[in-house]
Each structure stands twice: as structure tokens, then as C-alpha cells.
Structure 1
């Protein structure tokens, strides 16, 4: 069996690994590979006699709630990976203050949004919509939302001014014209904000 030595970035102590494979009934661990591209948590690809899995170390406070929600989404037919349970039917394994969860290994590669085709983006949007509906449904494990999120919307004119201001700010040695243009752009943004309510409609 190969895995990174304890103490190096992403390494798992041998005693932790032994407890993990025993708790989930994985049999012998054949290989453990640290995945440096993970976000927020440390992640590993773990190959065992029972199969290949994703091992994640998770912060305990919200781990159980999040994993319960994940299982409810999977039960609703959504394309998520439900967490595996330990022999004690727990989705989270705690070892000396550290916590782990185990998920089925999802084959494939992560693709950035700009690489999706129109059809793929459409399917992704539909999936996200179904996910939001499932999360808002009663019994999802989440508390009902108490308010609607709000965001500040920038007008196209203000966005254009911001874009030019960033271009000027990026200049190594702005000329007098550049500085005058920056002042005019900031003044334009101020005027747009002051008189936004007086802007005529589309008709």
C-alpha cells in the first residue's frame, strides 16, 4: 500500500488510515493519493479492496448537517454522491478531534464553465434549479430562509466607467490625459448615482 508519509502536506497518519478503513469496512487500503486541488477541505483518493472512494476531512460543527442534506438530495434523485456510513451508521468519523467522511469516487474531470457547450450549460442550469428546489423543500434538513438575498446591481454605464478606471489604474505612468479621464469617469459615476431616479424609461 502506498500513501504520503504523515507530517507532509496532505499526509494521513497510519493510525488514522487504519481506523478509517476499519470503520467503513473497506478491507485493505491499496493506495492513498492526496488531491491538492480541493477547496476548503483536504481530499484524498483512496483505493481499497472494496473499491475507490473520496476521503474528505471536514469541520465537525456543520459536517453532519451538510452530509444529511446530501443524502436527502440523493434520495430525491439528484446527481450527488451520498456519504457512506460507518459501521455505527454515522456519516462522519471522528478521530482524536479530526473528522472524516467517505464518498463514492466520481470518475471524470472538473470542467470550467467556459468550456461547457450550450447544451451542457442548459443541463447544468436545470440541475442547479432542481437542487435549489430540493434544498428549499420541507424535510431537506435545512431551516427555512428568513429573507431574500440582495445584491447591488451596477448599471451598464457605471460598469463601463469602472472598466476604464481599472485600465487607467493599471498604467505604469498615466499621462495627464489619463488622469483627466479618470476624474471625468468618477464624476460621471457620481452623476449617474444622483440622477438614477430621473432616468427615462425604455419606452
Structure 2
């Protein structure tokens, strides 16, 4: 791997490597903090998307940075005519300037910071719509079938029970799949309408949550990891992001912050209540039916997302008992003071051969 990083540094014109550090956060790609004589860089080995998707992301990050948003732009390979992706015998690498900052859980944010984060998500979506091709205003989304969800529940309950020496996680899975099976039978009539048009649609970041947002002294310094860039109903991202940002360890949601986040979002891009309530119901149903963490554990022998299954189960139990307050929190009107919206600072990220890209928000 050290040999690859040396080639990456050479081909991207980063300078001579003086230090490398593996970044352990994240489960999809391989990442390093690389210090060279030319600066400090974030190097990613791209594993989670193909080359075409990676290049599209890079075009988008460059365009967003040029529009003043806190997105680190992809650097270009010095000898490849502007290409932002280096292919080393099938191993794909990308580089951005390193952005200083820390991750902050959503429940650590002040009301003003929470509204700011919602407005930032909305601004990103609006700019994506200007950068990327137009998408249909509405789509029809097929919610998971209750029968297929039950099959998955039964399959993983059986897989846990069949282990020669079941451990504590297997016992937890059996218990939760038993409860999930009962819940699914009770709420099957609440499956979202598969024939109803869902929208408005647009391009979304796809994984806007605290591990992909960095904070500096003046506020958000970077929005990272654009691997899930895609067109979707925009309210779906608003709702999913809020549930990830403002969930507590016991599974409950900080509903006051949910309201502030949604209000900040809607201060930039108004969304009708009906679209948001529909997105809330669709995500709740998805959480009932989804067992992706167990697929990784039992089919791929990969326990890296076991903790996400535990937190998802706690969240689902609380959400199911509080469906009406959750929907109300997303649609409640909140007075947004004109300024508590600070005049934030800016961050500057420079790639070799380019002037500074100043990200202001």
C-alpha cells in the first residue's frame, strides 16, 4: 500500500510523502491522511462506487466548491488531462486537500447551529439541481413487500439460531426478529401506497449525517463522502438525515432539534407538509423491513455494522411508539431569528496546479 501511495503522490503532484495515517472511520472505502512536502491531503481508495460514478462525484464537488459551499474539491492527476481518478491496475484512487475539523453529534448542536445545518442541506440540494441534469418532479417508489420482509426476518432468525455456539449478538437477533415479526403483522396495513407519486425529486447527497460533516471554528468546514449522490425525493433525505443526526443512545429522537433542522431546511427550500409526512412514513416502514446489517453479519461474516443493528432496533422501537409526535416535529413551524444566522468564516482548500477554492456558507 505504501508503494501505491507514493505513486498517488507523484501522479497528483502532491510532493514527497513525509507521513501517512490510516483513517479508520467509515466502512466502505480505504482512506489516509497523507502529509507531503506540498501539504496535507486526504487520499481515498475508491471501493464503493465504479469509476464513472466517482468521476461524476468529483465534477460535482468541484462545482459545489466553486459556488462557495463547504465541499472539498477533488484534485486532478497532473498528467491525465484533468482526470480526477487514478487507476493503478484496477485500484482506483482520489485525492482532496485535507480539511481540518471535528465531527459533532447532532445533539451537541445549538438551536442556531441545528437550523444552519438544515439550511446547508437544503442549499446543497438546490445547487445539485443546478449542476446536474434535471430529474422528474415525482417518481413511484415501491415500498418493501411485507411478505418479503417476513422472509428476511425468518431467514436471519434461523441463521442466528443455527449457529453451533450462539453468542450474545445471536441471542439479540433472535429476540429482535421475533419482535419484528409481530410488529410487521400488526402494521402491514400501513405499508405506503406504491401507486402514489412521490416528490418533489432532486439530486441528494445520500448520506448526510454527522460522520460526513466536519466543523471548524466558524461552523461547517466540509461535507464529505459523496458516494451516495443520486436522484430521489428530497424530503426522504431531510427525514433520514434528521433521524441519523438527532438520535439518542436510547433510540429516542431529539424532537426539538428535528423541528429546528426541518425549519432550517424549509427556510431555503419550502416543502409541503404532505411530502414530509409521507417521507416519514416511508422511512419508518423501510426500517421495519430492512435487515441489511444482518445480511453483512450472517452472509458476509462481517460484524462491522453490528452496532448499527442495535441502534436501529432501539430507534425503531421508540419511533413505533411515537409515530405522531415524530411526524409533528418535522412539520412544526419554528420561528427562525434573522440572526442567530452568523456570518461564518471560510475554509480554503488548494489542489496542486489550482488556486484556492474558498468555501463560504
Question: Shorter-chain-normalised TM-score: which range?
Answer: 0.5 to 0.7
1:65 aligned to 46, 56, 59, which one? 56
Return the offset for 1:39.
4.3
Deviations 1:146-190 (A, max 9, x none): 2536698xxxxxxxxxxxxxxxx969xxxxxxxxxx89xx76x57
Return the offset for 1:87.
0.8
1:55 aligned to 37, 43, 68, which one? 43
Partner of 1:76: 67
1:87 aligned to 69, 78, 84, which one? 78
1:43 aligned to 31, 47, 62, which one? 31
Partner of 2:113: 120
Which stretch of the first structure deviates more once superposed, 56-65 or 97-106?
A: 56-65
Runs of 4+ in 1 over 4 A off after TM superposition: 149-152
Q: Distance in 1 between matches of 2:102 and 2:27?
A: 15
2:134 aligned to 134, 144, 155, which one? 144
Q: Distance in 2 between matches of 1:131 and 1:81?
A: 13
SS in 2 for 1:107: coil
Q: Distance in 2 between matches of 1:145 and 1:39?
A: 30
Q: Distance in 1 between matches of 2:89 and 2:2?
A: 12
Return the offset for 1:77.
1.1
Cα RMSD of the aligned pairs, angstroms, is 2.7
Q: Distance in 2 between matches of 1:136 and 1:38?
A: 27
Q: Distance in 2 between matches of 1:50 and 1:42?
A: 22
Return the offset for 1:27.
1.7
Deviations 1:84-109 (A, max 9, x none): 11213221111110111111111111
TM-score of the two chains, using structure 2 as the length reference: 0.38
Partner of 1:179: none
If asked which structure has higher relative contact order (CA below 8 Å, sep 6+), I would say 2
TM-score of the two chains, using structure 1 as the length reference: 0.65
SS in 2 for 1:127: helix
1:99 aligned to 92, 109, 115, which one? 92
Return the offset for 1:80.
0.5
Q: Distance in 2 between matches of 1:94 and 1:170?
A: 46
| Higher Cα radius of gyration | 1
- More helix by proportion, 1 or 2? 2
SS in 2 for 1:80: coil
Q: Distance in 1 between matches of 2:109 and 2:73?
A: 25
Return the offset for 1:13.
3.8
SS in 1 for 2:113: helix
Return the offset for 1:54.
0.5
Aligned residues: 150
Structure 2 runs not aligned, ≥5 long:
144-173, 177-181, 191-361
